[in-house]
Amino acid sequence: MRLIRVVGAGAGLALAVTACSGGGGAAEGDGEVGGTITYWDTSDAENEGPAYEAVIADFEEEHGVTVNHQFEDFDDARDRFDRAAASGDGAPDVLRTEVGWTADFASLGYLQPLDDTPALDDVDDFLDGPWSSAQYEGTTYAVPQVTDSLALLYNADLLAEAGHDEPPTTMDDLATVAGDVSEETDADGIYLHVEGYFLLPFIFAEGGQWVDDADERITINDPEAVAGLENALDLMNSDAALSPDLGESYDVMMAAFREGDVAMIINGPWSMGDALGGPAFEDAENLGVQSLEAGGPTGGHNYSVYAGSENLETAYAFVEYMASTETQSRIAEELGTLPTRESAYAAPAVEDHPIVSAYAPVMEASQPGAWIPEAGQMFVPFDDAYEAAVLGDVSPQEALDGLADEYQALLPDWE
């Protein structure tokens, strides 16, 4: 038995491999909308969930179908869908795909092509940025749901107390204002969340990029990107910033901002509701939004249909409904998320919504992503490299050189 136990340790790993190569289910429907579909929702179940539940209930009633609406943790959803789709077992009919995942899943054959299906409706109405993330090799594999980008969120009272009536517009100003807040008030100036995606504005500000997909070049260790990382580290390690807690970086950022312990953070529109729930922003006017120097990355989410779905017609109808102008407006009105349809902004309740209007200039400035299949796998090593640099294990240049090596393994044909 002893040997068997030892062998079993390796076999467990081997088992995981075999699980990744099973056959898929058949894709056939009776051509009518009905029955049950499963939808994996990666939105924030607590803050955003109720609004989505309400619109989905209306869809169920309208079409006499059942939507098995499951909230999946965003951080795990990519891996879980990857495993489920590859093994042909347990994948949902419809999935909320982050813009960076869509090309990845499409290239692996997990997603159903949506051109000429009922899922796509009035396609010219979609904004260019989100729409481009739904395309892979000339085919549409998703329908844009929401778009977003990173901006500077600030506590106007704290800035005023430090003598700044206007928020900073450049990274240099940001450091100055953060320093003043730390000196003049009880709060710290800024908290930087240690995650690669949140570092991008600093890299953009120096004129850097993580990859250049037009020239097929890995640019994450170019001097501009290194300078961006150095600036972020300098700021983080200065007296102006609350030093980051790598264990729970995001939660600490939001808690400190909500409580008024820190005056500025960099975050997206999804966090506005969370921030407004805190004592520092009982007066919503106190929460300011400012575009970053060279913009943030274009983020957002799409609806995708699993190619192995056994109820494609209902999945199409569901996606069409969820991405329709009415649904987008309704959700935007309630949550302040940014619609992906031009027409959805026309409703006054959306256009004048404080969060939507605050983020309009942010979206203008945002930089388009590289919609390549490998993008989905590029975040984790980016986070690790950023953490290593923050810990001081390696210099910024070494951290990004190591990251470039990992990207080279993902993109062997690139320069």
Partner 1 sequence: MTNVATTVQRRRATPARPPRPRAAEPGPLRRFLRTHWYAWALTAPVVIVMSVVIAFPFARGLWLSFTDADRRNVSTRIGENVTPATYEFVGVDNYVAILTGDVGDFWARLTWTVVWTLACVACHFGLGLGLAVMLNRRVALRGVYRAVMILPWAVPPFVSAFIWRYLYQGEYGLFNAALRGMGFPGVEWLGDPFWAKVVVITINVWLGVPFMMVALLGGLQSIPGQLYEAARVDGASPWQQFRHITLPSLRPVAAPVVLIGTIWTFNQFPVIFLVTGGGPARSTDLLVTYAFRLFGDGTYGVASAYGMVILGLLLVLGVIYQRALRREGQAW
∠ CA 269-270-276 to the nearest 5 degrees? 85
CB of 131 to partner 1, least distance (A): 22
Which of the stretches 20-28, 55-63, 166-174, 264-272 binds partner 1 when contact is defined by CB under 8 A? 20-28
Question: Using the rule CB under 8 A, is 139 a contact of partner 1?
Answer: no
Identify how many contiguous H helices and E strands the chain contains and give both numbers: 17, 14
Question: Using the rule CB under 8 A, is 51 a contact of partner 1?
Answer: no
Interface with partner 1 (CB under 8 A), residue from 135, 343, 377, 395: 377
Q: Are the C-beta atoms of residues 323 and 127 closer than 8 Å to each other?
A: no
Give the pairing type, strands 94-98 and 211-212: unpaired
Interface with partner 1 (CB under 8 A), residue from 247, 282, 348, 413: 247
Residue in 289, 370, 371, 372 with CA at minimum distance from that of residue 336:
289
Site for partner 1 in 21-50 (CB under 8 A): 21, 23-27
By C-beta, is 255 or 360 nearer to partner 1?
A: 255
Residue in 51, 414, 7, 72 with CA at minimum distance from that of residue 209:
414
Size of the site for partner 1 (CB under 8 A): 58
Question: Using the rule CB under 8 A, is 207 a contact of partner 1?
Answer: no
Rounded-to-integer distance, Cα 400 and Cα 329, Å: 41
Question: Using the rule CB under 8 A, is 209 a contact of partner 1?
Answer: no
Interaction pattern, residues 279-308, with partner 1; x per rule: CB under 8 A = ---------------------------xxx
Torsion angle, alpha carbons of 152, 157, 160, 166, to 10: 30
Which of the stretches 124-132, 170-178, 330-338, 382-390 binds partner 1 when contact is defined by CB under 8 A? 382-390
Interaction pattern, residues 384-413, with partner 1; x per rule: CB under 8 A = x--xx-xx-x---------------x----
Joined together, the tokens standing for residue 232 give 């972020």
Which of the stretches 16-24, 45-53, 348-356, 359-367 binds partner 1 when contact is defined by CB under 8 A? 16-24
CB of 357 to partner 1, least distance (A): 33
Give the pairing type, strands 94-98 and 188-191: unpaired
Non-local CB neighbours of 273 within 8 Å, separated by 6+ positions? 47, 48, 335, 336
Residue in 390, 371, 406 with CA at minimum distance from that of residue 202:
390
Question: Using the rule CB under 8 A, is 229 a contact of partner 1?
Answer: no
Interface with partner 1 (CB under 8 A), residue from 50, 90, 109, 277: 109
Please give the helix or strand (H or E) that residue 149 lies within, else none.
none
Interface with partner 1 (CB under 8 A), residue from 34, 35, 88, 278: 88
Q: Are the C-beta atoms of residues 88 and 308 closer than 8 Å to each other?
A: yes
Q: Are the C-beta atoms of residues 228 and 389 closer than 8 Å to each other?
A: no
Rounded-to-integer distance, Cα 219 and Cα 205, Å: 14
Q: Are the C-beta atoms of residues 156 and 288 closer than 8 Å to each other?
A: yes
By C-beta, is 360 or 370 nearer to partner 1?
A: 370
Give the pairing type, strands 143-148 and 338-339: antiparallel
CB of 25 to partner 1, least distance (A): 7
By C-beta, is 162 or 262 nearer to partner 1?
A: 262
Please give the helix or strand (H or E) that residue 31 lies within, else none.
none
CB of 116 to partner 1, least distance (A): 14
Interface with partner 1 (CB under 8 A), residue from 32, 46, 58, 79: 79
Kindly list the residues in this chain that would bind partner 1 in the complex (CB under 8 A): 2-11, 13-18, 20-21, 23-27, 79, 82, 85-86, 88, 107-112, 244-249, 251-252, 255, 306-309, 312, 373, 377, 380, 384, 387-388, 390-391, 393, 409
